[in-house]
Structure 1
């Protein structure tokens, strides 16, 4: 347990970071995937995922407060012992690196397909990852201050796409109200949770060991999650009512297609590119967390006092993985549903419950002795 995290952030900054992490890639890829699974009932699946997500988030907060002076990886060693704890940390590090590479690929693919075609994927990934590496070098305190600057603009631009899409909405596209079987709705909900909620366990490497003390933290964190969930649900509803669930599932990035149609309403050319900036910014912060957590975990495993010496080599590994993780968008969609969903359930749901039980048992015997 030699890894030290001397940086401090407050609950408000943590909440804003959690909100943007939740939004992340969800506003780009979730509408397409859940529409393909749950069709016109996709909004019901999103609503259900928000309810479950709040309960999962409360579980994360409770686990974090069991050992407030330890980060998540140190908590593993406390609950399970040194070697089992390190093995679990190693699994979470792999999950973080895979998550970082998939998010980086998504950014590159989106930029190439929608904004600057014929640009090599390698160039986009290197450029974007260089910024993330630089951000990691500066530290989490600098990143959360950046979050405070960009957060209002990201939320405003997402709100614009929702509001200006209202004239094009056709509520009949949501009918029949419950047109899909419950298993399809649950499947779509699990997909949404695997993208936006289960990975939030990684943020609790910071909570509460890196946070300043704040008695009102739980409420603000949950409110931040509800804001993110509401935006994701609104985007999904707008996508289906504007494009229909068939077209929504057909497009890889249906939100961008909706934004392209806004220009005819507000008489602004290429407004969708401006709005895309908000998505890219939110994805940046999600990618940063995946990357940052992997650095913390590797430093913990190697017994390093700080993560900065390994920032560049791990960043290069993420770039390399991003170039090979998905051969194409079809494979990406299938992999996300068949592999990422069960993996996220294991890391973001099963693991926290096991950690809770292990920590309680360890505390019981420690107190008893």
Structure 2
């Protein structure tokens, strides 16, 4: 039996030869030494049949050898949605990096956070569901880790799931190099909150060659005194003082030190300050109640302007603790 050689393959222009070396006209459908499955009908959703190579050791493959399974294309959601890092008050777009590649378009989508009920994605101003999914968003007002899922259904009924996680946290600035007993601001370049109204408290701690226990960062006391108006009064009165000349402004905080309540100042007229008190035992003003007027700046600004000094040389780490309104600490 003649031997199948490269020269013979070139002579027949890639048509597999018969054992005799002749070219069988029936095999003209064979090209480049590859056999195709005869009689295959391909729908538009099916991929092309995978060809089988001609085996020079055994001759043409048998009909059983020729048959390959038809494997439909696998839809893919590309891993282009990395973990998100934000701070409270940020608007998060969890699926902004969503990329989908499949045999058909997306027909519908729905999403959820942390295993809650699904919410359908509507078209809105977009012309396709995939684009609308990329603009799903919400404002994050608490610290923590969140898991977002999006479920996509294509026009063939296939369902695809993608998951992305988001971390809401504070971001501290760079390390500092300072001299002994020199005041510096350790958190001046920190990112604490996009919406400072969502912060309930801030503390810090120093560890290392110098230690400072976990300490609250409090508002600056601008002025203090004693209420000498009537008892059970809604307004703070300090008779004889013109409170409008002391640098107190709308938005600062009036604190009743005696009963522990405080409120944001809404009006200042002569010797009278108006603020709705809360968080104390009486939430009003009684004779001889001690008051403080606190800086109304947001806590994140107060933390960034905090000045401390280190008395000893060496390495120290300074930790910032921020609590949101739900008492989650970052």
TM-score (norm 1): 0.18
Which structure has more relative contact order (CA 8 Å, sep 6+)? It is 1
Larger radius of gyration: 2
TM-score (norm 2): 0.19
